[in-house]
Chain A
Amino acid sequence: MDLKLAIFRPLLKQAMEKHGHGAALGFELTKVGRGEIEMTFPYKEEVVGNPITGVIHGGVIVSLLDTACGSAAITTLTSPSITPTMDLRLDYMHPAEPRQPIYISAKVYRNSSNVIFCRGSAWQDDPENPIAHCVATFMKVDSPSISFGNVIRRRLNRLVRGDKAYEREADK
C-alpha cells in the first residue's frame, strides 16, 4: 500500500473540490492514484455556452481537464515541488450532451526529470467515444516554500491576520 498517497489523497481532494474554481464548478475526484485521476462533473445550467442547445461551454472542459491532468502530475512528485502547466492542447470531438454528467480521466504517460507529460479525456456514455481529448505538459519546479511546515505557517498567519491582509498580499 502506498502510504504517502493515502495521506495525500484527502488533502488533494479537499484542495481541488472545496476551494476557488473547483468549488464553483462542483466536480468530484472519484479516483486518485499515482499519475492517475478520475473525476465526475454533474451538468450545471450556469456554465452553458450555447443558450439554444444548452451545451456547456468548452471553457469548462478546459478547466476540468486542466485540473485532472494537473492533479495527476502532482501525484507523481516525491519531493516538495510545484508543477505549473506549460501548455494544454484540447481537441473537441463532439459537443457534450446537455443535462448529462461528464466523466474525466487523466494519466501521466511520461515523467522525466524536468517535465511531466499527461493525457486526458472527457466522455459521457462511452470512454471510447470521448467528447474531448487533451495533452498537457507540466514543469517540475523545486519549491521549499510549499513544504508541509511552510504551508501550515502561512495558513496560520492568514487566520491571524484575516482575509483583508490576504487580499492586500495578492495585490503586491
Chain B
Amino acid sequence: MSEQLKALRADLLKARVECSPQQLLDLIPYSSFIGAEAKIEAGEVLYWLDRRSSNIGNPSLPAIHGGVIGGFLELSAGIEILYTLDVESIPKVVDFSLDYLRPGRYKTIYANCTVLRQGKKLVNVTATAWQDNPETPIATARCHFLIC
C-alpha cells in the first residue's frame, strides 16, 4: 500500500472518530474551489455552499450556476459515503442524474444526502438541495458510486 493511501485512510478514520465531515471536504481540492462546507446537525450531515461571485451562472438575475449546484450535490453525495460508510478509498462516480426544481438564487444553498443502498461494489445515494426551506427544494440528485 502506498504511503499516500495509508495517509488517506488515517484521515478518513480521524474524520469519522472526530465527527467532522468538514475534514473530509478539506481533503478534496474541488470543495474549496466552490466553497462547500459541512457539519453535523441533528445527527445528520448538513452540507452548505455560501454564495460567492465565482459560482454565479446567470449574471443578469443573478442565479447560481446550474453546474455548481450539480457539482455541489455530487460532492456532498461522495462525502456522505466517505463519512457514513466504512470505505477505504475515494468512491468513483458512475452516473449522476439531476432534476432542477427551482432557480438557485444568489444566497446559501443547503443539502443533505441519504444512502439508499449499499452493495459490495455499488452504492446508491440521493441528495437534495434547498435555500429557504427544506420543503421547497431547488434540486434533487441521485447517483451511483463504485466503492471497490
A60 on the B face (CB < 8 A): yes
- Residue A47 contacts which of B8, B30, B55, B98 (CB distance < 8 angstroms)? B30
User: With a CB–CB cut-off of 8 A, which chain B residues contact A31?
Assistant: none
User: With a CB–CB cut-off of 8 A, which chain B residues contact A67?
Assistant: 65, 67
Do B99 and A87 have beta carbons less than 8 Å apart?
yes
A151 CB to nearest chain B CB (Å): 6
User: With a CB–CB cut-off of 8 A, which chain B residues contact A45?
Assistant: 29
Render A84-127 as a binary contact track against B, CB cut-off 8 A, 1 for contact. 11111111100100000000000000000000000000000000
Do A66 and B59 have beta carbons less than 8 Å apart?
no
A62–B6 Cα distance when bound, in Å, is 30
User: With a CB–CB cut-off of 8 A, which chain A residues contact B103?
Assistant: 84
The residue on B at minimum CB distance from A94 is B92
- Residue A62 contacts which of B2, B60, B96, B105 (CB distance < 8 angstroms)? B96
A91–B90 Cα distance when bound, in Å, is 18
B103 CB to nearest chain A CB (Å): 7
Do A86 and B99 have beta carbons less than 8 Å apart?
yes
Max count, chain B CB within 10 A of own CB: residue among A15, A86, A90: A90
A131 CB to nearest chain B CB (Å): 11
User: With a CB–CB cut-off of 8 A, which chain B residues contact A91?
Assistant: 94-95
The residue on A at minimum CB distance from B91 is A50
A171–B107 Cα distance when bound, in Å, is 7
Do A50 and B90 have beta carbons less than 8 Å apart?
yes
Render B66-97 as a binary contact track against A, CB cut-off 8 A, 1 for contact. 11101110110010000000000010111111
Do A86 and B70 have beta carbons less than 8 Å apart?
no
A33 on the B face (CB < 8 A): no
- Residue B70 contacts which of A23, A49, A63, A95 (CB distance < 8 angstroms)? A63
User: With a CB–CB cut-off of 8 A, which chain A residues contact B96?
Assistant: 58, 62, 89-90, 92
Q: Which secondary structure characterizes the binding site on chain A?
A: helix
The residue on A at minimum CB distance from B97 is A89
B56 on the A face (CB < 8 A): yes
A91 CB to nearest chain B CB (Å): 5
B65 CB to nearest chain A CB (Å): 4
Do A60 and B107 have beta carbons less than 8 Å apart?
no
A34–B28 Cα distance when bound, in Å, is 38
Do A66 and B67 have beta carbons less than 8 Å apart?
yes
Do B70 and A88 have beta carbons less than 8 Å apart?
yes
B133 on the A face (CB < 8 A): no
User: With a CB–CB cut-off of 8 A, which chain A residues contact B8?
Assistant: 51-52
Do A95 and B68 have beta carbons less than 8 Å apart?
no
User: With a CB–CB cut-off of 8 A, which chain B residues contact A60?
Assistant: 30, 71
Other A-B pairs beyond A57-B30, A60-B71, A88-B100, 6, CB < 8 Å: A52-B2, A57-B29, A84-B100, A88-B66, A89-B98, A91-B94
Residues of B within 8 A of A (CB): 2, 4-5, 8, 27-30, 32-34, 51, 53-57, 59-60, 62, 65-68, 70-72, 74-75, 78, 90, 92-100, 103, 105-107
